[in-house]
Amino acid sequence: MERNESKTYDVIDVCLLAGKIMLMCGAETYRVEDTMMRMAAAYGMEHSHSFVMPTGIIFSIDGKDPTKLVRVTERSTDLSKVTKVNSISRQITAGSISVQEAYQQLKAVDEKKEMYAGWIQTTAAAISSGCFLIMFQGQWQDFFSAVLAGGFGFICFLYMSKLLQLKFFAEFSAAFVIGIISLLLVYVGLGNQIDKIIIGSVMPLVPGLLITNAVRDLLAGHLISCLSKGAEAFLTAFAIGAGIALAIGFAI
Amino acid sequence: MLQQLFTSFIAAAAFGIIFNAPKQSLWKCGVIGSIGWGVYYYLYYFQELNIIGATFIASFMIAVISQFFAKWYKTPMIIFSVAGIIPLVPGGLSYDAMRKFVENDYNQATQLAAKVFMISGAIAMGLVLAEVINQVVKQSTIQRYKQNVGD
């Protein structure tokens, strides 16, 4: 009996850890719930209930004692962790690893920081800014200005989001920097079309993941998650717009 | 057209890096981004389709291909769809809307904002339709399987 109970605890811990990692790294809410319930079912807990919101997870196994709550405060985007947890959960449902092994593997995934280095991310953002400029019918001679503005904007975004715990200020300041740099470049004569340069450089900040997640959560019937993620996306977009507007406001 | 396909490939793959997608799936992000943007570009600039229709079809294509890739490579679909969707987001129009607001031209600004809203809706509906088709296909295969097994 005692052994049984401790097993329940272990299973709950494993499920919660997996759910927490997925939620923190930007997986859809319905996928988190689905994964947790599948994992519990694979360990013989057929009737489990998980309730996931963008800010926390409540998980309980039917008829058993503990119901646990995990609070998720930080949310970032790390799709490689989502993929790894997904493959671990596949192994669990296939029955090929035990509870302890799963817990250790998940713990390893949780602790490992495998982000691309900051300069690689910045370079990627800068180059994508230039590419977006071309995609939005800009001229090739503005390519370099967009790369510069996008790169500096993204550096500002990375730095600000590390420095401050405020949610929307990083986007706001990054957009502001982009606006100022583009205005300067056009003023100096390096850039031609100020509109295209700004649009291209702002694109790396766009909350694309939130938008797609909000829609997919809505389809799965998670109205609360959809609304809160939609609000987050809207506020992020608004912060970007406000930053640009402020920069242009100085110029007019 | 070729330079559009090329730039959209690079842009989508770069977005994969920003979202920290696994290394081996970066080129797939690029392919999906490039296909989605190619469809959009072709419909909007060559067929002169309405921008909402073009966005809708492109996002539908992206979602379908992402689902296919997700099944094929056994990875979550989100990795592929995100990078593809980004170029379709009406960044230019919302920038224009914002700019008109700053210039106190509220009539123009609200018109543009409404258009932005419609385009975002078109992206969402494209994703929705692809999901519906996915579910229908899944249901029918399950039923066929059950009939074959005989219970």
CA distance B15 to B23: 12
Q: Name the pairing type of β-strands A56-61 and A48-53.
A: antiparallel
Say what the ipTM of the complex is. Answer: 0.81
Distance between the two ends of chain B, CA-based, in angstroms? 53
Where residue A41 falls among pLDDT bands split at 50, 70, 90? confident
Q: What's the mean pLDDT in A208-218?
A: 79
Contact B22 A134 (CB under 8 A): no
Question: Which three-class secondary structure state does DSSP give residue A241?
Answer: helix
Residue A173 to residues A78, A146, A245, B7, B115: CA-CA distances in angstroms? Answer: 23, 17, 11, 27, 26
CB of B104 within 8 Å of any CB in chain A?
Answer: no
The Cα angle at residue A53 between residues A49 and A59, in degrees rounded to 5: 25
Q: Which of B16, B85, B103 lies closest to A212 in CB terms?
A: B85
> Which tens digit of pLDDT belongs to each residue from A146-189?
898 889 999 998 888 888 877 788 889 999 999 999 988 888 88
Q: Which of B7, B85, B120 lies closest to A134 in CB terms?
A: B7
CA distance B95 to B101: 10
| Residue A237 pLDDT greater than 70, yes or no | yes
CB of A18 within 8 Å of any CB in chain B?
Answer: no
Contact A244 B96 (CB under 8 A): no
Q: Which of A32-41, A191-200, B141-150 has the lowest mean pLDDT?
A: B141-150
Contact B103 A252 (CB under 8 A): yes
**Closest approach of chain B CAs to the CA of A78, in angstroms?**
5
| Residue A1 pLDDT greater than 50, yes or no | no
Set of chain B residues whose Cβ sits within 8 Å of the Cβ of A116: 17, 20
Q: Which of B89, B98, B101 lies closest to A208 in CB terms?
A: B89
Where residue B58 falls among pLDDT bands split at 50, 70, 90? very high
Q: Look up the pTM and report it.
A: 0.82
Contact B95 A120 (CB under 8 A): no
CB proximity under 8 Å: A 165-184 to B: none
- Could you count the other beta carbons within 10 Å of the beta carbon of residue A252? 7
CB of A231 within 8 Å of any CB in chain B?
Answer: no
CB of A98 within 8 Å of any CB in chain B?
Answer: no
b/e map A140-172, b = 16+ CB within 10 Å: eebbebbbbbbbbbbbbbbebbeeeeeebebbb
| Residue A91 pLDDT greater than 50, yes or no | yes
pLDDT of residue A187: 86
